[in-house]
Amino acid sequence: MKTFLLLLIIAFFSVGNSSCKKDNEAEPDYEIRQASGDYFVSPEGNDDHPGTEEKPWKTIQKAVDTAEPGKTVIIKEGYYDEYVKIRKAGINKDNPTVFFSEALYGARCRGFYINVNFINLDGFGVEAMGETNWTGITIDKCAYVTVQNCEINECPTSGIKIKNLSLYISILNNKMDHNGQNGISLVGNYCLIEGNEITRTVQNHPKGHEPGFSGADADGMRIFGTNNVIRANILTNIGDPDDKGNLDPHVDCIQSWDGGIGGIPVMSYTLIEKNIFSTRHPSGKGILIDATNGNTCSDLIIRNNIFEFRDMGLGFYDGRFANIYVYNNIFKALLNDKSWGTSVSFRNINQFEYYNNITVDCHPQHRYIIGGGRIGYNLAWNSDGTMPSGEPAFLNNELVGKNPQFTSYAGGYGDNDYHILSNSPAIDKGLTLSNVLDDFDSIPRPQGAAYDIGPFEYKPKK
Ligand SMILES: [Ca+2]
Ligand SMILES: [Ca+2]
């Protein structure tokens, strides 16, 4: 009898489960994270409840509007059909109000709009639905907001948009796939963009464009303002050329420009390090900046990055630039490509340094640098054995046509391992630089006698 009852229960649940599934999609198994909270939200809750674990609220919006500043709200797994507006600030930068999805990406909703200070969003799954909202998470003219560990997909106008010179915003370890326009758009100062993954941005998203939208594109990030840090992000297949929505984008992994006096401020005083920027779109560029409206783009440090592109690695060729420092990067393009394939395009930059970089398959011109600056200790190689050529010609301790001996290199995008092997000619041939103290993997430089060329310092295995 007991066995029969058990079988009956199993049968009942099997039927129940299969009838709940939509489009034959299995519910993903979300990772449950331990946390202690002051308030709770659950799809089975009720907004007339007190918001305790036993009697949780039903909507995230109720929690946002009701929770005392500086407290932690735990949101249980489930779909919340809401576009949440956070309009009640936390206490201070050390005591933000925390909204925490108990299951990683498991509390899912249409998005968030934040225009108050001291807020921390952690672990949500976000998909903008259009009509009600077009951007996943908007941070508008505020300070000390952190968005971390979220998964933000399929938003027609940016995954995360930071607007109106917000300050001290941290965007950490989020995943963003197939969003329209770009993964992250930043207009702010003193912000940190670290550890995020951005894939497959699209110019014309299948959900369409929000009313009044113009200038559709498929970039990785758009960065404006000063004193920002862009670190250890992985951008792959930006502006996917096989995506039908990418009709005619100008694909840049990072793009910035000068909006003129009082306008949107071109990126300056910014550190860009340890990122992977990969695009195989024919127009694809690593970082593109123009500064033609009166302001100068200045004081950029770009070090220990991997650039894979078709057209240009760094394009600084229109407008006013000063104090641009480019160290220990890899620039990889495609041989025999109709796209330009140059590592850097620098024209009349007032003060720059270009040291310890590797260019691979940048063809036919591995670099294009017009005007004076300090250049040297770079390595240029074409994988078909042809000799690289570029402007200026090789001058200062540079290695030309030497195979850098990567761990693996097949010439593709997103699947090369650029760690150098023990027989690499790049080992100990770089210049010692006070602006570069470690490598892509945060291994201190130098290992061995001197700095290596490229983003990876060779370290013998023990
Ligand atoms: Ca662009
Ligand atoms: Ca070394």
Domains and CATH numbers, the chain: 77-383 (2.160.20.10)
Section 345-360 average pLDDT:
96
- Evaluate whether 93 touches 74 at the Cβ level (below 8 Å): no
Q: What is the pLDDT of residue 16?
A: 37
DSSP string covering 87-121: -S--SBTTB-EEEEESBTTTEEESEEEE-SSSEEE
| Of the candidate ranges 27-36, 103-112, 124-133, the one whose mean pLDDT is the lowest | 27-36
Give residue-wise pLDDT tens across range 365-399: 999 999 989 999 999 999 999 999 999 988 899 99
Q: What is the pLDDT of residue 20?
A: 41
Residue 191 Cα to ligand 2 midpoint, Å, equals 32
pLDDT at 17 over 60: no
Residue 455 Cα to ligand 2 midpoint, Å, equals 11
Residue 255 Cα to ligand 1 midpoint, Å, equals 6
pLDDT at 2 over 90: no
Tell me the three state secondary structure of residue 35.
coil
Residue 282 Cα to ligand 1 midpoint, Å, equals 12
Share of the chain above pLDDT 90, in %: 89
Residue 307 Cα to ligand 2 midpoint, Å, equals 21
Residue 250 Cα to ligand 1 midpoint, Å, equals 4
Average pLDDT, the chain: 94
Give residue-wise pLDDT tens across range 247-268: 999 999 999 999 988 899 999 9
Closest ligand to 439 CA? Answer: 2
Residue 148 Cα to ligand 1 midpoint, Å, equals 25
Distance, in Å, from the CA atom of 250 to the CA atom of 298, rounded to the nearest integer, reads 23
Distance, in Å, from the CA atom of 460 to the CA atom of 443, rounded to the nearest integer, reads 12
Closest ligand to 312 CA? Answer: 1
Residue 387 Cα to ligand 1 midpoint, Å, equals 31
Residue 303 Cα to ligand 2 midpoint, Å, equals 16
Residue 357 Cα to ligand 2 midpoint, Å, equals 14
Q: What is the pLDDT of residue 243?
A: 98
Distance, in Å, from the CA atom of 403 to the CA atom of 381, rounded to the nearest integer, reads 6
Residue 239 Cα to ligand 1 midpoint, Å, equals 9
Residue 458 Cα to ligand 2 midpoint, Å, equals 6
pLDDT at 302 over 50: yes
Quickly state the pLDDT bin for 5 (edges 50, 70, 90). Answer: very low
- Evaluate whether 380 touches 410 at the Cβ level (below 8 Å): no
pLDDT at 101 over 90: yes
Residue 218 Cα to ligand 1 midpoint, Å, equals 6
Closest ligand to 251 CA? Answer: 1
Q: What is the pLDDT of residue 24?
A: 53
pLDDT at 3 over 60: no
Q: What is the pLDDT of residue 72?
A: 98
pLDDT at 142 over 90: yes
Residue 291 Cα to ligand 1 midpoint, Å, equals 15
Residue 371 Cα to ligand 1 midpoint, Å, equals 26
Q: What is the pLDDT of residue 433?
A: 98
Quickly state the pLDDT bin for 363 (edges 50, 70, 90). Answer: confident
Residue 317 Cα to ligand 1 midpoint, Å, equals 15
Residue 379 Cα to ligand 2 midpoint, Å, equals 15
pLDDT at 355 over 80: yes
Q: What is the pLDDT of residue 6?
A: 40
Distance, in Å, from the CA atom of 182 to the CA atom of 157, rounded to the nearest integer, reads 7
Quickly state the pLDDT bin for 12 (edges 50, 70, 90). Answer: very low
Give residue-wise pLDDT tens across range 127-137: 999 988 999 99
Hey, which bits of 131-195 come out as E strands?
137-140, 145-148, 151-153, 160-167, 170-172, 175-177, 184-189, 192-194
Q: What is the pLDDT of residue 82?
A: 97
Give residue-wise pLDDT tens across range 204-232: 999 999 999 999 999 999 999 999 999 99
Q: What is the pLDDT of residue 26?
A: 67
Q: What is the pLDDT of residue 285?
A: 98
